[in-house]
Amino acid sequence: MQLDAQGNLKHFLTLDGLERSLLTDILDRAEGFLGVARQAVKKVPLCRGKIIANLFFETSTRTRTTFELAAKRLSADVLNLNISTSATAKGETLLDTLRNLEAMHVDMFVVRHADSGAAHFIATHAAAPVAVINAGDGCYSHPTQAMLDMFTIRAHKGGFEGLTVAIIGDVLHSRVARSQITALNTLGVAEVRAIGPSTLVPARSEEALGVRVFHDLRAGLRGVDVIILLRLQHERMDGGFLPSEHEYFHLFGLTDKRLGLAAPDAIVMHPGPINRGVEMDSSVADGERSVILEQVSNGLAVRMAVMSMCIGTQNLWLHAAGQQPPAEVGDV
């Protein structure tokens, strides 16, 4: 569903089933878009004349803003649907909303929804030329977040082979963790560790997700090269998964002392938003090993790459660059 007959992206819904070469292609293309932010005019014409609609049925600040800015840097026209005042809030079905937007000749839908599978549903029912990007659905998938995290890891580590990556926190409810684990295993890291309480990292995760599970933070942190912390997904918890946030920090919060168990050059990541004093100390979040703000900056380049690929403008790029991604996309 995500690929056309030539193997190019037409939707970006999940990382499941995508080849390593395609993920690497996304990272390589994003590399070229980094230079756009350094230009006097922070725009390239790859999506000029295209209309991109942000359909955020779930609250978001960072993801929605970066998708909007990425679309504008590609010179696309952006339509932000205000769900609280949209027709869906008045009883219109999601499918009817989709048909009305298609009638406005929208070229791409960027979808965030609280229900797993919503982006797949829209992609299944969207008219053939319309591309769909999943900006996070339920507990299932958040592929662009995972790819910007992979971009950040590659920038600091040079590659993925031989790396040990620890993902700490609420793996059970995290769509980000699922996409990260898929990407890391596809790109060939040595080991992915999932660390957290048994209520949030079930033992079956080892077989279902392809990770090594630790319920002891100190044991799980030893020697790791990359640490990815996750937010506690309270909005998706319908029971007593934790005694308290204080108890969680006592057992699984990242402090400078605990960070010392990792490799000396280990980096610290977080998809945001950060809950200081719950997932980590402020000294770690703001420390020299933190690359959290870099993740945000890299998110723009990665989302520009994915959007341009899905909307079909990558062919313009390759033609202008003689079949190779340019060092600076702004030269196109």
pLDDT in tens, 83-136: 655 656 666 787 888 888 899 999 999 999 988 999 999 999 998 889 999 999
Give the pLDDT confidence score for residue 322 in this predicted structure: 41
Q: Residue 81 has which token pair?
A: 């649907």
Q: Residue 294 has which token pair?
A: 């870099």
Distance CA 243, CA 232 (A): 13
Mean pLDDT of 202-211: 86
Mean pLDDT of 311-317: 60
In this structure, are 253 and 317 located in the same domain? no
Give the pLDDT confidence score for residue 65 in this predicted structure: 94
Within a 10 A sphere around the Cβ of 216, how many other Cβ atoms? 10
Residue 62 among known ligand-binding residues = yes
Distance CA 88, CA 101 (A): 12
Residue 145 among known ligand-binding residues = yes
pLDDT over 90 (residue 207): no
Residue 113 within a domain: yes
Give the pLDDT confidence score for residue 271 in this predicted structure: 93
pLDDT tens-digit series, residues 123-169: 999 988 899 999 999 888 999 999 999 999 999 999 999 999 999 99
Residue 8 within a domain: no
Q: Residue 271 has which token pair?
A: 């998809």
Residue 112 within a domain: yes
Residue 313 within a domain: yes
Distance CA 326, CA 134 (A): 27
In this structure, are 55 and 90 located in the same domain? yes
Residue 231 among known ligand-binding residues = yes
Q: Which is more confident, 221 or 62? A: 221
Mean pLDDT of 243-253: 87
Residue 28 within a domain: yes
pLDDT over 80 (residue 325): no
Give the pLDDT confidence score for residue 280 in this predicted structure: 96
In this structure, are 169 and 304 located in the same domain? no
Residue 227 within a domain: yes
Residue 48 among known ligand-binding residues = no
Residue 175 among known ligand-binding residues = yes
- Assign residue 45 the CATH number of its domain: 3.40.50.1370
Residue 273 among known ligand-binding residues = yes
Give the pLDDT confidence score for residue 98 in this predicted structure: 86
Residue 324 among known ligand-binding residues = no
- Residue 163: which domain range? 143-291
In this structure, are 82 and 165 located in the same domain? no
Q: What is the mean pLDDT of the chain?
A: 88
In this structure, are 300 and 269 located in the same domain? no
Q: Which is more confident, 201 or 190? A: 190
Residue 170 within a domain: yes
For the stretch 95-113, what's the b/e string if a residue is b when 16 or more beta carbons lie within 10 angstroms of its beta carbon? eebbeebbeeebbbbbbbb
Number of structural domains in the chain: 2
Helices (H), the chain: 20-33, 62-73, 94-103, 118-125, 143-157, 175-187, 205-209, 217-221, 245-252, 256-259, 282-285, 292-310, 314-320
The alpha carbon of 316 is separated from its chain's Cα centroid by a whole number of angstroms, namely 25
- pTM for this predicted structure: 0.90
In this structure, are 99 and 190 located in the same domain? no
